[in-house]
């Protein structure tokens, strides 16, 4: 006798419950013992209650090798679907380590690929939570092909919808290139593991004995610049993901969400009038300035363990997202080097792709001199900054705080790189190079022949500073729109951003520019 409708309903319920249980109690307990949440617990925390629609729960592998025939793998080791984060849709793939170690086989990859395609069509972000042993060994080329299909789709989605990766378990070997192709990587301290070549292989090949944590732990990959945000645990990673999403539009055709009431708020802040030290050689912390200028002192810094001489991140001014870029005078005097150039360029390009206005704070003594930098290709890397700022068509506002010397002045979005507004503080010094270096060249003979060369040099330095290293020369050439009192910086930015909301900047059609790599 065929099954009754009631029996069929019961079968559906039981099947769903069995599949949703993942790899079973023992493996779930092991996951919890490691301090990790399960794939479903993670998405339940990330998304608004009652908004999750899971897809492809019934996926099953079709591998017949290595005794795999008929072996059930619930959901094929990944939970996929869509839900709302802060009321806005986002698609997700959350790997289930309790099922075959979250390893990626043909169907596992197919679930992720279909989810990515839906994210692309719907214009909604993709969040990919990684917790996986990598390519499923038993599936051979089908597993590799699966990764290839995922990589390909990351590139299709790139610049259309934001892509955020969370490393909440192992993600090693070629698998690491999935997060690497996404826009942001959030990694969990302790449980996240991210590297291309494991410690055993490194030992075999090079003899170097290195621990997995030193190789692919969160601190290692934060300081390499691969990881953008560090989380204490899974919960923290999911909170960071929600926060990051709150700054971003759902896709490249939208503006970021507006949390303001339409009113511009910009009381003067007298603290800013005192923040620059009298001695131009003294450092100060640029974050002091950023935090006081943006809404509620709320600044989400990106890559805060990498290239600390530059600071990038997201904040809001009058409720609207801005991408912040700044030199950090407290670290190596805020000099631009290879890593900081890469860090800034990437942030500028992300903001441009997603309609996020750029606010750039400048206090830069120049590009870093030295053989290491030259051999490492500082020309190639520094050029990325010139390229990405020039190519950016979003509103670009530059505030010159103190030093703005040489090529680095231009690279930090000087007027000539298409900055829409340039304001200078009275402490700004725009020049081809710093006074000390300049007088050595311009007044070489006079210094040499002076009775007291040291005193003569000092005199020339002061004269040079008076004459050139100030914002008035730039003002007289219309390269600086306004010289403002520091306390009025938020007012300046608020009005400038408001006037640029409708900015249009149409460039010639081309396949793509050739950013120096």
> Which residues, in sequence order, are CB contacts of 244 under 8 Å at separation 6+?
164, 184, 186, 229, 300, 314
**Per CB under 6 A, which of residues 136..155 are in contact with ligand HXC?**
136-137, 144, 147
Active site residue 174: yes
Residue 101 touching ligand HXC (CB under 6 A): yes
Residue closer to ligand HXC (CB basis): 83 or 133: 133
Active site residue 307: no
Residue closer to ligand HXC (CB basis): 65 or 467: 65
Q: Which stretch binds ligand HXC (CB under 6 A): 167-175, 251-259, 326-334, 413-421?
A: 167-175
Alpha carbon of residue 491 to chain centroid? 27
Residue closer to ligand HXC (CB basis): 97 or 306: 97
In whole angstroms, the minimum distance from the beta carbon of 365 to ligand HXC comes to: 42
**Kind of pairing, strands 193-195 and 300-302?**
unpaired
Q: Which stretch binds ligand HXC (CB under 6 A): 79-87, 96-104, 318-326, 429-437?
A: 96-104
d(CA 354, CA 357): 9
Active site residue 102: no
Q: Which stretch binds ligand HXC (CB under 6 A): 170-178, 213-221, 371-379, 494-502?
A: 170-178
Residue 225 touching ligand HXC (CB under 6 A): no
d(CA 256, CA 251): 9
Collapsing DSSP states into helix, strand and coil, what is residue 93?
strand
d(CA 248, CA 255): 8
Side by side, which strands form the sheet with 184-188?
53-55, 78-85, 88-95, 126-130, 163-167, 184-188, 229-231
In whole angstroms, the minimum distance from the beta carbon of 77 to ligand HXC comes to: 9
In whole angstroms, the minimum distance from the beta carbon of 205 to ligand HXC comes to: 16
Q: List the one residue from 123, 140, 159, 173 that touches ligand HXC (CB under 6 A).
A: 173
In whole angstroms, the minimum distance from the beta carbon of 93 to ligand HXC comes to: 16
Residue 174 touching ligand HXC (CB under 6 A): yes
Q: Which stretch binds ligand HXC (CB under 6 A): 78-86, 128-136, 236-244, 263-271?
A: 128-136
Residue 100 touching ligand HXC (CB under 6 A): yes
Residue closer to ligand HXC (CB basis): 173 or 280: 173
Q: Which of 173, 418, 437, 475 is catalytic?
A: 173
Q: Which of 105, 407, 434, 474 is catalytic?
A: 407
- Gyration radius (Cα) of the chain, Å: 27
DSSP string, 353-384: HTT--EEEEEEE--BPPSHHHHHTTHHHHHHH
DSSP string, 176-224: GHHHHTSSEEEEETTT-EEESS-HHHHHHHH-----HHHHHSHHHHHHT
In whole angstroms, the minimum distance from the beta carbon of 175 to ligand HXC comes to: 4
d(CA 266, CA 488): 8
Closest by CA position to 325, among listed 256, 260, 230, 394? 394
Q: List the one residue from 22, 125, 170, 357 that touches ligand HXC (CB under 6 A).
A: 170
Residue 103 touching ligand HXC (CB under 6 A): yes
> Which residues, in sequence order, are CB contacts of 179 under 8 Å at separation 6+?
128, 130, 165, 167, 171, 185, 194
Q: Which stretch binds ligand HXC (CB under 6 A): 135-143, 152-160, 181-189, 508-516?
A: 135-143
Q: List the one residue from 81, 134, 179, 434 that touches ligand HXC (CB under 6 A).
A: 134
Active site residue 39: no
Collapsing DSSP states into helix, strand and coil, what is residue 452?
coil
Residue 406 touching ligand HXC (CB under 6 A): no
Name the residues annotated as catalytic.
Answer: 173-174, 407-408
Residues that bind ligand HXC (CB under 6 A): 100-101, 103, 133-137, 144, 147, 170, 173-175
């Amino acid at each position: 006798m065929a099954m009754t409708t009631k029996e069929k309903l019961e079968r559906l319920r039981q099947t769903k419950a069995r599949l949703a249980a993942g790899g079973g109690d023992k493996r779930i307990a092991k996951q919890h013992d490691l301090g990790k949440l399960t794939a479903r617990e993670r998405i339940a925390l990330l998304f608004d209650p009652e908004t999750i629609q899971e897809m492809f729960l019934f996926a099953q592998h079709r591998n017949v090798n290595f005794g795999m025939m008929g072996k059930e793998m619930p959901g094929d080791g990944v939970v996929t679907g869509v839900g709302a984060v802060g009321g806005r849709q986002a698609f997700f793939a959350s790997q289930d380590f309790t099922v075959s170690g979250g390893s990626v086989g043909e169907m596992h990859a197919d679930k992720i690929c279909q989810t990515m395609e839906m994210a692309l069509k719907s214009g909604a972000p993709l969040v990919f939570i990684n917790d996986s042993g990598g390519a499923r060994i038993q599936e051979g080329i089908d597993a590799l092909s699966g990764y290839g299909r995922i990589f390909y789709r990351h590139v299709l989605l790139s610049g259309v919808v934001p892509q955020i990766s969370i490393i909440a378990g192992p993600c090693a070997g070629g698998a690491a290139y999935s997060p690497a192709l996404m826009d942001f990587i959030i990694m969990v301290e302790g449980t996240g593991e991210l590297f291309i070549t494991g410690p055993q292989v490194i030992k075999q090949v090079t003899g170097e004995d290195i621990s997995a944590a030193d190789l692919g732990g969160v601190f290692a990959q934060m300081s390499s610049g691969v990881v953008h945000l560090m989380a204490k645990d899974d919960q923290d990673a999911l909170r960071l993901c929600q926060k990051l999403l709150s700054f971003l539009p759902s896709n490249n055709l939208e503006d970021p969400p507006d949390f303001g009431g339409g009113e511009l708020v910009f009381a003067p802040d007298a603290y800013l009038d005192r923040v620059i030290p009298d001695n131009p050689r003294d450092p100060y912390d640029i974050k002091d300035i950023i935090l006081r200028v943006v809404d509620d002192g709320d600044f989400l810094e990106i890559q805060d363990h990498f290239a600390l001489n530059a600071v990038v991140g997201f904040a809001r001014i009058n409720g609207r997202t801005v991408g912040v870029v700044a030199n950090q005078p407290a670290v190596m005097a805020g000099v631009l080097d290879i890593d900081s150039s890469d860090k800034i360029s990437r942030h500028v390009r992300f903001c441009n792709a997603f309609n996020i206005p750029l606010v750039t704070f400048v206090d830069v003594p120049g590009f870093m001199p030295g053989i290491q930098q030259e051999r490492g290709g500082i020309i190639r890397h520094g050029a990325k900054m010139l390229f990405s700022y020039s190519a950016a068509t979003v509103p670009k506002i530059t505030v010159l705080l103190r030093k703005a010397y040489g090529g680095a002045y231009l690279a930090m979005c000087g007027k000539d790189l298409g900055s829409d507004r340039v304001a200078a503080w009275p402490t700004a010094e725009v020049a081809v190079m710093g006074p000390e270096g300049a007088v050595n060249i311009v007044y070489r003979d006079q210094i040499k022949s002076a009775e007291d060369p040291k005193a003569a040099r000092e005199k020339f330095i002061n004269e040079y500073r008076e004459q050139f290293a100030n914002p008035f020369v730039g003002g007289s050439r219309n390269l600086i729109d306004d010289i403002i009192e520091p306390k009025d910086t938020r007012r300046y930015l608020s009005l400038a951003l408001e006037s640029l909301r409708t900015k249009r900047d149409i460039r010639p059609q081309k396949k793509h520019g050739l950013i120096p790599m």
